[in-house]
Amino acid sequence: MQCSWKAVILLALASIAIQYTAIRTLTSKPFQLCPVPSPQNCGLLGGPETESPMEGRAGCDDYPYFSFNTSRKTHIMVLATTRSGSSFVGQLLNQHADIFYLFEPLYHVQTTLIPRLSHSRNAADRRVMLGASRDLLRSLYGCDLYFLESYIKPAPANHTTDKLFRRGASRALCSQPVCDAFRPTDANVEEGDCVKKCAALNMTLAADACREKRHVAIKVVRVPEIGDLRALVEDPRLNIKVIQLVRDPRGILSSRIETFRDTYRLWRIWRATGRRPYNLDLSQLTVVCEDFLGSVSTGLSHPHWLKGKYMLVRYEDLSRNPLLKTMEIYDFLGLPMDKSVEEWIQTNTRGSTELSAKHKYGTVRDSAANAESWRLKLSYDMVEYTQATCQKVLHQLGYKAVKSAEELKNMSLSLVQDKIFVPFL
Ligand SMILES: *[C@@H]1O[C@H](CO)[C@@H](O)[C@H](O)[C@H]1NC(C)=O
Ligand SMILES: *[C@@H]1O[C@H](CO)[C@@H](O)[C@H](O)[C@H]1NC(C)=O
Ligand SMILES: *[C@@H]1O[C@H](CO)[C@@H](O)[C@H](O)[C@H]1NC(C)=O
Ligand SMILES: *[C@@H]1O[C@H](CO)[C@@H](O)[C@H](O)[C@H]1NC(C)=O
């Protein structure tokens, strides 16, 4: 009896590995990578006027993603965690006319490979999930959306699916030629409307739309640390720029308690009763802080492989001064910020907080005050506990600890210290 749970875990692990191997085998094409582009082994990459990715690419034309002049394409990654404001940052990119945006495609990897152990911190699980994630991201940055199909359930038939996670969050997937339901003049199609009115997603068209755009941005909340992305960042075929979004862990905790009501049920009990349930899953908090600490320590230590490729953004700074911060982000990306991004910021940051409740994962329509509203929602002992657990990372990111309940609830005193994180250029 005693070892049966171990057997279960072993079985689960074995099946994950087998499933992943199967997926890799079935879709092995993207893995037979062409050699790294260079004038010697693959002919010259097309000049700026070469529009067709296939032109003059003898030897590599089976692998469309490889055929781009990659130095022109920017592969943007928003590295975040749930309830840290990543939907908001995603929108800042999604609104740009030259960017193809995908909302958390790794959702499909997780639900396929580790459906039950969704919060697994098991090292082997993590390795498989990360390996699969990196492969998928690499393919997606090359606009190979067929590769994602191996993870979508039920499996798409004829490259068509209505199960792509949060399809409606991607502007390109809700507009022509991918979807004919709206006119180009229909600005800001609501996510739900897109899902309702667009026909099932034709992945061929979606991939074409991706290739049409100059840049690709992907939001990711299922990669723990920046260090896990090193292989991608260093991949010479890609041109990755990582925007790491962090938020006060106390704010994340509070927001998750409101949003993921089942998963964080025991935290709500703690808040309501003032007593910490003995079976509370503390890893729901510690993981956030450990991952932030690992990531931020790596990022701020400026390793050579991150040079020019890493920017740390605090959610609180973004909500205090969205326009300015967004300009900084576009500066870092080396892209001009377009009018539609600016307009989107204007309409979505006027502090209309009641709108934020509309969608569970919806873009946070936040004001500066809202970024610290967790202080009125968490109890002091929960805050105290979080501060003790996350002490290092709070300090590192410039979030002030409070020493009393009075201080916690005194909103005229901000807990966000001024701190400038200069991108590593
Ligand atoms: C790729 O495009 C850029 C600008 O469009 C150009 O400067 C560069 O030379 C091209 N790279 C190659 C290898 O052709
Ligand atoms: C896929 O396409 C084939 C050929 O066009 C057709 O026979 C088949 O019914 C389609 N399958 C689905 C599920 O639509
Ligand atoms: C998807 O779009 C492609 C390209 O336009 C088209 O050839 C294909 O028939 C479409 N697939 C379906 C199932 O409609
Ligand atoms: C709140 O903090 C401010 C600034 O430190 C202080 O002046 C004020 O007295 C505090 N208010 C209360 C009710 O403690």
pTM here? 0.81
Q: How far apart are CA 99 and CA 81, in angstroms?
A: 22
158 lines ligand 2 (CB under 6 A): yes
- pLDDT of 355 strictly over 70: no
CB contact at 8 A, 105 and 244: no
Pick the atom of ligand 2 nearest to 158's CA.
1
Phi, psi of 344 (to 5 degrees): -65, -40
| Residue 301, C-beta contacts closer than 8 angstroms, at least 6 positions apart | none
* Overall average pLDDT of the 249-253 stretch: 95
* Overall average pLDDT of the 353-382 stretch: 65
* Overall average pLDDT of the 368-394 stretch: 91
CB contact at 8 A, 137 and 114: no
Least confident piece of the model among 19-28, 67-76, 208-217, 351-360: 351-360
Q: What Cα–Cα distance (Å) separates residue 372 from each residue in 91, 132, 186, 268, 368?
A: 21, 36, 34, 19, 7
Pick the atom of ligand 1 nearest to 37's CA.
13
* Overall average pLDDT of the 344-372 stretch: 58
Q: Is 143 left (phi over 0), alpha (psi -120 to 50) or beta?
A: left
Among 61-65, 121-125, 205-209, 360-364, the range with the most confident prediction by mean pLDDT is: 205-209
45 lines ligand 1 (CB under 6 A): yes
Q: How far is the CA of 276 from the centre of ligand 4 (A)?
A: 29
Residues 232/236/240/244 CA torsion (nearest 10 deg): 50
CB contact at 8 A, 271 and 382: yes
Please tell me which residue, 290 or 368, carries the higher pLDDT value.
290
Q: How far apart are CA 321 and CA 325, in angstroms?
A: 6
Question: Best mutation site among 45, 60, 70, 74 for ligand 1, i.e. most ligand atoms within 8 A of its Cβ?
Answer: 45
Q: How far apart are CA 169 and CA 227, in angstroms?
A: 27
Closest C-alpha to ligand 2, atom 2: 158
CB contact at 8 A, 89 and 80: yes
Residue type, 38: S
Looking at the CA of 202, name the nearest ligand: 3
Question: Best mutation site among 410, 411, 414 for ligand 4, i.e. most ligand atoms within 8 A of its Cβ?
Answer: 410
Q: What Cα–Cα distance (Å) separates residue 154 from each residue in 23, 306, 339, 385?
A: 14, 38, 39, 42
Please tell me which residue, 46 or 353, carries the higher pLDDT value.
353
- pLDDT of 63 strictly over 60: no
Looking at the CA of 46, name the nearest ligand: 1
Structure-block tokens of residue 146: 């067929």
* Overall average pLDDT of the 33-41 stretch: 39
Closest CA to 385 of 269, 246, 275, 294: 275
Among 67-76, 162-171, 346-355, 363-372, the range with the most confident prediction by mean pLDDT is: 162-171
* Overall average pLDDT of the 193-200 stretch: 91
Pick the atom of ligand 4 nearest to 410's CA.
1
- pLDDT of 351 strictly over 90: no
Q: Is the peptide bond before 105 cis (omega within 30 degrees of 0)?
A: no
Quick: pLDDT tens for 79-109.
999 888 898 999 999 999 999 999 999 999 9
Quick: pLDDT tens for 289-335.
999 999 999 999 999 999 999 999 999 999 889 999 999 999 999 99
72 lines ligand 1 (CB under 6 A): yes
Q: How far apart are CA 335 and CA 99, in angstroms?
A: 10
Q: How far apart are CA 366 and CA 377, in angstroms?
A: 16
Give the chain's length. Answer: 425
Closest CA to 92 of 103, 81, 83: 103
pLDDT bracket for residue 10 (50, 70, 90): low
160 lines ligand 3 (CB under 6 A): yes
Looking at the CA of 47, name the nearest ligand: 1
Q: How far apart are CA 114 and CA 12, in angstroms?
A: 8
204 lines ligand 3 (CB under 6 A): yes
39 lines ligand 1 (CB under 6 A): no
28 lines ligand 2 (CB under 6 A): no
Q: How far apart are CA 342 and CA 340, in angstroms?
A: 5
- pLDDT of 76 strictly over 90: yes
